Amino acid sequence: MKLDLTIFLSAVIGAQAVFATPIRSRTPYSVKETHNVPRKWKNLGRAAGDHMLHLQIGLKQDKFDELDRHLYEAPVSDPNHSRYGNHLSFEDVTELVKPAEETLDLVHEWLLTNGVRELAYSPAKDWINIYIDVESAEKLLDTEYSVFQHEDGSALVRTSHWSLPAHLHEHIDTVQPTTSFMRSAPQKSDYIQFDQPYTPPGYKPPTNETIAKVCRLFTVTIECFQTLYGTIDYQQKVPGINKIAFNNYLGQRPIRPDVFSFLQKYRPEAAPNAYAFKSIEIDGGPAAQNTSLTFEQAAGDDISKEANLDAQTILGMTYPQPVYSYSTGGSPPFLPDINTPTNTNEPYLTWVNYVMGQKDVPQVISSSYGDDEQTVPKSYADRVCKQYAQLGARGISLLVSSGDGGLGGEDSSGCLTNDGKNTTTFIPSFPPSCPYVTAVGATQEFEPEVAAFRAPGLGPDNKTHGFYASGSGFSNYFDRPSYQDAVVPAYVSALGGLYEGLYNKNGRSYPDLAAQGLYFAFWWNGTESSISGTSASCPLMSSIISLVNDELISCGKPPLGFLNPWLYSKGYKGFTDILGGNTSSCGTAGFPVTKGWDPITGFGTPSCSNSQKTRVIYNSDPLFIETE
Ligand SMILES: *[C@@H]1O[C@H](CO)[C@@H](O)[C@H](O)[C@H]1NC(C)=O
Ligand SMILES: *[C@@H]1O[C@H](CO)[C@@H](O)[C@H](O)[C@H]1NC(C)=O
Ligand SMILES: *[C@@H]1O[C@H](CO)[C@@H](O)[C@H](O)[C@H]1NC(C)=O
Ligand SMILES: *[C@@H]1O[C@H](CO)[C@@H](O)[C@H](O)[C@H]1NC(C)=O
Ligand SMILES: *[C@@H]1O[C@H](CO)[C@@H](O)[C@H](O)[C@H]1NC(C)=O
Ligand SMILES: *[C@@H]1O[C@H](CO)[C@@H](O)[C@H](O)[C@H]1NC(C)=O
Ligand SMILES: *[C@@H]1O[C@H](CO)[C@@H](O)[C@H](O)[C@H]1NC(C)=O
């Protein structure tokens, strides 16, 4: 198997390699990391020695602190300034995250002495990628790989611990795949086929006639979002300079004929774009599909519902902007031959390292995938999160959905620790728990919007549907970032000890924002239907941020980039506070939705003026404000 060299700058280290620092004598191995095998996984026995792994070795970044500082500095709005918008160039970021020479030398030496001669680097050389069989990886990391099977049938080749020579501990942050069981499932909650519009008993339609005309609870359309959030009359000025993208993993791919049918009905002028948006395939990811799903594909499972949802929402909201669809290969297979699972590599890091290597990246990226934070080893979550910081430093806004399980699941049986003790706890989700992304929760209804929640039971199609509550929580891995200091401690203290011990008061709390997330109009397998989830909220919010960027760029201002420092200091004024909704989860009533920021809907949903006379004043005011 060969590494896809379009992804990484390749390099072959030969015997002639010159080391800047003297070679250390070998040191004995000691355990670098152990991580509990998450609940629901069982060990089926040793992995085959010839199973291939794509090992990603994260080297210590030399000047990350400096990069972090840039992210929090006030924006520089003079376009002639070398740090316009406070965004760093590709070269600047590369310089800040590259490892020290000594780190590179020591790691090269270790790989060479273990017979690894072919390796590839990320652009900053802060990651080394090697393809290696299990037998060799076991020697390299003094470990044993096993096949682990999830109770849903899927399998991964992983280990519970790995080691490094003692002198390398301070130079290598993480190596994966080893202990990470993260699978980042799409955060979409259900799919409902229907024959006729549906209104649940007791639902009161909006009294505002403009909204009542376009917004129905089931199903919600592009026109409703545009009206509700005030973007309906906005004419984009710099589409092409301004761009947006979304991520697909796990074999998900947008199905162009479905996207076309959706747009033809709900945003007709955008329909041709269903066949024109750009599909970028990374590391063997599948291309957007030109033809309808075959019978077998549709029967398979959820294939491409998430990707269709992202494509339909973003194309519908941002036409005529160019849209990029990133598909990254590498996914836990479903029901593989147990001894030879196919590509079980980690795609999330592959994607971010690919994007970091590109000079021209869309300014907004939407990603609707996540998993329980406790399935991801801390060292790995930390490094993936730092890669996201690098995107932010370059002026790219990365938005992720907050999850569909509220505080971690419906009842207390799912809300247990992973440490073998099964202690009751709230279960935060990664990547929304990463402080360098903007996490988006979900709302439902219109007047007012409330936090999205649906108890399990019969849906509009008379089929049973599962529990759904907008994802909410506090990280156990990441400390509260300084931008949250003004709101989170006050929220926690107002709880007066509620849920004490079930969450980390000092952790990064999410979400930051929210948008509609129940019963989106949707097309799949040639049929209209509806779909729900923070998966829907994320591309919707991403689209609106992208429209704000259009306005900013057209006024000669930099795009918003990493949103959170701006959002928590002044941007929040451009959002409508959400005050209600049910957040019952983990067998509790959930965190209360309150006035001001709360960890269910963040600062709320967008409130853009729908006047063409609007201008964005980036440094001091909310999203769109009237100036004339
Ligand atoms: C930026 O530089 C350009 C070209 O040198 C100049 O025309 C323009 O006036 C400058 N803008 C500002 C805000 O200084
Ligand atoms: C009704 O909603 C529209 C769209 O949000 C808004 O522009 C208008 O002011 C609202 N009308 C009233 C009477 O609140
Ligand atoms: C879809 O069509 C485009 C344009 O004709 C072509 O470039 C692309 O390879 C096709 N994709 C697939 C997956 O067949
Ligand atoms: C997909 O569409 C085909 C053709 O209409 C239909 O026969 C099939 O049952 C659908 N599959 C699913 C899973 O809905
Ligand atoms: C924790 O739960 C798992 C699976 O639900 C069970 O196998 C295990 O015995 C439990 N451990 C303890 C200490 O209760
Ligand atoms: C929230 O939902 C739960 C589960 O359906 C229900 O028992 C509870 O009464 C609801 N709470 C509120 C305030 O609506
Ligand atoms: C669901 O069941 C109710 C009661 O049996 C019936 O009135 C309704 O038409 C059904 N809805 C659908 C979509 O089948």
Tell me, yes or no, whether 232 and 157 share the same domain. no
Asked if residue 130 belongs to a known ligand binding site, the reply is no
Question: Residues 443-462: what's their mean pLDDT?
Answer: 89
Tell me, yes or no, whether 610 and 566 share the same domain. yes
Tell me, yes or no, whether 149 and 190 share the same domain. no
| Per-residue pLDDT band at 218 (split at 50, 70, 90) | confident
Residues catalogued as catalytic: 306, 310, 535
The reported pLDDT for the residue numbered 343 is: 54
The reported pLDDT for the residue numbered 339 is: 37
Quick one: 276 exposed, middle or buried, by C-beta within 10 A (0-12, 13-18, 19+)?
exposed
Residue positions counted in the chain: 628
The reported pLDDT for the residue numbered 291 is: 96
Q: CB under 8 Å to 483, separation ≥6 — which residues?
A: 72, 564, 565, 567, 568, 569
**Does a structural domain hold residue 88?**
no
The reported pLDDT for the residue numbered 299 is: 87
Tell me, yes or no, whether 390 and 427 share the same domain. yes
Residue 295: CB atoms within 10 A of its CB come to 9
Pairwise CA distance, residues 430 & 107, whole Å = 29
Tell me, yes or no, whether 34 and 104 share the same domain. yes
Q: How far is the CA of 462 from the centre of ligand 7 (A)?
A: 6
Query: Which residue owns the Cα nearest ligand 3 atom 10?
Result: 290
Residue where a domain stops, chosen among 159, 181, 203: 181
Q: Which two tokens stand for residue 442?
A: 């979900």
The reported pLDDT for the residue numbered 196 is: 66
Q: Which two tokens stand for residue 511?
A: 């979400």
The reported pLDDT for the residue numbered 190 is: 76
- Helix (H) or strand (E) segment spanning residue 110: helix 101-113
Residue where a domain stops, chosen among 181, 201, 234: 181
Asked if residue 596 belongs to a known ligand binding site, the reply is yes
The reported pLDDT for the residue numbered 72 is: 80
Q: Are 293 and 303 in contact (CB under 8 A)?
A: yes
Share of the chain above pLDDT 90, in %: 61
The reported pLDDT for the residue numbered 74 is: 59
Tell me, yes or no, whether 476 and 595 share the same domain. yes
Tell me, yes or no, whether 381 and 461 share the same domain. yes
On average, the pLDDT of the chain sits at 86
The reported pLDDT for the residue numbered 82 is: 59
Query: Which residue owns the Cα nearest ligand 7 atom 3?
Result: 462
The reported pLDDT for the residue numbered 552 is: 85
Ligand 3 pocket test: which of 255, 273, 278, 290 has the largest number of ligand atoms within 8 Å of its C-beta? 290
Q: Of 611 and 27, which is predicted with more confidence?
A: 27
> Collapsing DSSP states into helix, strand and coil, what is residue 88?
coil
Residue where a domain stops, chosen among 181, 214, 238: 181
**Does a structural domain hold residue 83?**
no
**Does a structural domain hold residue 448?**
yes
Number of domains in the chain: 2
600 backbone φψ class: left, alpha, beta (φ>0; ψ -120 to 50): alpha
Tell me, yes or no, whether 148 and 215 share the same domain. no
**Does a structural domain hold residue 78?**
no
Tell me, yes or no, whether 177 and 212 share the same domain. no
DSSP assignment string, 58-127: EEPPSSHHHHHHHHHSPP---TTSTTGGGPPPHHHHHHHHPPPHHHHHHHHHHHHHTT--EEEE-TTSSE
Ligand at minimal distance from the CA of 254 is 3
Tell me, yes or no, whether 279 and 421 share the same domain. yes
The reported pLDDT for the residue numbered 571 is: 85
Of 162, 199, 207, 153, nearest to 180 by C-alpha is 162
Domain, as residue range, for 52: 5-62+98-181
Share of the chain above pLDDT 70, in %: 87
**Does a structural domain hold residue 71?**
no
* Amino acid letter, 44: L
Question: Residues 492-504: what's their mean pLDDT?
Answer: 97
Q: Residue 421: phi, psi to the nearest 5?
A: -100, -10
pTM of the full structure: 0.90
**Does a structural domain hold residue 85?**
no
Q: Is the CB of 382 within 6 Å of ligand 7? A: no
| DSSP letter (8 states) at residue 539 | H
| CA 419 to each of CA 181, 381, 395, 500: distance values in angstroms, whole numbers, following the listed order | 14, 17, 38, 19
| Per-residue pLDDT band at 4 (split at 50, 70, 90) | very low
**Residue-wise pLDDT tens digits, 291-324:** 999 999 998 756 799 999 999 999 999 999 999 9
